[in-house]
Amino acid sequence: MDGLSTTTEATSDEAALFGRAKRVLPGGGFGNFAPEVILREGRGGRVWDVAGREYVDFLLGSGPMFLGHGHPEVLEAVREQLARGTTFFANNEHGIALAEAIVEAMPCAEQVRYTGSGTEADLYAMRLARAFTGRERILKFEGGYHGMSDYGLMSLAPKVLANFPRPVPDSAGIPRSVQEEVLVAPFNDLDAVTRLVEAHAAEIAGIIVEPLQRLIPPAPGFLQGLRDLCDAHGIVLIFDEVVTGFRFAYGGAQSYYGVTPDLCTLGKIIGGGFPLAAVAGRAAIMAHFDRALVGDDGFLIQIGTLSGNPVAAVAGLKTLEILRRPGTYERAFATGRALMQGMEERIARAGLPAQIVGEPPLFDVVYADGAIADYRATLRADRAVQAHVNRVLREGGIMKGESKFYVSVAHEDRDVEQTLEAFGRALRTLPGR
């Protein structure tokens, strides 16, 4: 079934369920996606809500379902493990094997430490940089997302544009003292970063960056410039690859863009749809997780009840096995390119000031003229147009986040066709055009 189908009974049940959610959940939701959307199941590149509506799914659980929903081989691996145990709070062979696969795949990875979420992985990566260097400040980029920690929530989406390098907290409840420990720079401006680093090099423990910042690709030479700066000043370079890891290439964005960091963080795809994330990097830095190597003063304590649990590990292992098969990445990239090209053609026909930003497995339309090179450039986007397009896409059976298309290996030609038809209709029905 394409598009939407609804029954009165299902719609009534859906409203009742949302009413229940509003009584027991702040804002009626989990804090992630639009709370009125209540999904029931997913198969391949599609999902269904509790009212029976079918959607082409470009949300993909915010990215983990790169193989699509319910891949039969992943499900079979999980079923086999469920009968043997779900978690142990101890080493298990599958977690060890997954760490071996990550070390083999990721250029920077000599060792791996598991966490339960990308937020934790980013937090520990920054803490590792401080432990390794003995310095305290972290440099991040305005608009860069590094989880929900106090440090991560500095200048992610600042409501007030401060002068660099002053950070702006994105949440209530963050101590003012954290602002003294974070420096903020504009993405893709190597000159600005160089000036900041040279002025504060003795204080900066690490630079953390999304190699593709939300949707914005790195300018030529930018990531290598960061690598060179870190080498020159003894700073730890951290690539946040929670999103890009195993999505752009089997070796992540560091392989795709050809720049190797000291540490990277991973999540989403490595758990195959189950909660799992990791920090990976140089053994000399990762040694701070080992008291026997660094002593009490250098030891970084890290404990997680479900870290490396065998169910997530077998799902991740099977996912990585499938990704290694010939043609897998080519298929995802071909789908993404077809969507991007079709959208560009429709934007041109509509004469709309808009552009595609991102890479084929992860992109969106930014409704603005001019180069989109950093966070402040995205503020030129017409939010009303974006909201209209997203609404019409949803009505046309297309599920996506507010500002991302996640493309999966499971998406098919019919999904591309339905998406482009709905996108064209959204542009044709823009108010005032």
Residue 120 has a CB neighbour count (10 Å cut-off) of: 22
Do both 152 and 286 map to the same domain? yes
Catalytic member of 140, 268, 318, 404 = 268
Do both 87 and 211 map to the same domain? yes
Q: Is the pLDDT of residue 11 over 90?
A: no
Q: Is residue 433 part of a domain?
A: no
Q: Is the pLDDT of residue 7 over 90?
A: no
Check residue 401 and give its pLDDT. 93
Q: Is residue 110 part of a domain?
A: yes
CA distance 7 to 13: 10
pLDDT digits (tens, 9 = 90+) for 353-405: 999 999 999 999 999 999 999 999 999 999 999 999 999 999 999 999 999 99
Mean pLDDT along residues 118-123: 98
> For 30-80, what is the HEC assignment?
CCCCCCCCCEEEEEECEEEECCCCEEEECCHHHCCCCCCECCHHHHHHHHH
CA distance 138 to 144: 13
Domain enclosing residue 131, as ranges: 72-323
Do both 187 and 315 map to the same domain? yes
**Last residue of some domain: 323, 357, 392?**
323
Do both 53 and 112 map to the same domain? no
Catalytic member of 57, 150, 240, 415 = 240
Number of H helices, E strands in the chain: 14, 14
Q: Is residue 299 part of a domain?
A: yes
pLDDT digits (tens, 9 = 90+) for 121-139: 999 999 999 999 999 999 9
CA distance 214 to 63: 12
Identify the CATH number of the domain in which residue 98 sits. Answer: 3.40.640.10
pLDDT digits (tens, 9 = 90+) for 39-83: 999 999 999 999 999 999 999 999 999 999 999 999 999 999 999
Q: Is-contact 98 313, C-beta < 8 A? A: yes
The one-letter amino acid at 197: V
Residues in CB range of 69: below 8 A, 6 or more apart = 41, 42, 43, 44, 45, 46, 47, 57, 273, 410
Do both 249 and 375 map to the same domain? no
pTM: 0.95
Q: Is 257 annotated as catalytic? A: no
**Last residue of some domain: 299, 323, 347?**
323
Check residue 5 and give its pLDDT. 41
Q: Is residue 3 part of a domain?
A: no
Per-residue burial over 11-46, b = 16 or more CB atoms within 10 Å of its CB, e = otherwise: eeebeeebeebeeeeeebbeeebebebbbeebebbb
Measured in degrees and rounded to the nearest 5, phi and psi for residue 432 equal 80, 5
Q: Is 268 annotated as catalytic? A: yes
Do both 358 and 287 map to the same domain? no
Quote the longest CA-to-CA distance of the chain.
Answer: 68
Q: Is residue 1 part of a domain?
A: no
Q: How many domains does the chain have?
A: 2
pLDDT digits (tens, 9 = 90+) for 250-285: 999 999 999 999 999 999 999 999 999 999 999 999
Do both 283 and 340 map to the same domain? no
Q: Is 240 annotated as catalytic? A: yes
Provide, rounded to the nearest whole percent, the portion of the chain with pLDDT above 70. Answer: 97
Catalytic member of 55, 114, 124, 145 = 145
Measured in degrees and rounded to the nearest 5, phi and psi for residue 38 equal -120, 105
pLDDT band, very low/low/confident/very high, at 13 (cuts 50, 70, 90): confident
Q: Is residue 2 part of a domain?
A: no
Q: Is residue 332 part of a domain?
A: yes
**Last residue of some domain: 279, 300, 323?**
323
Mean pLDDT along residues 149-177: 94
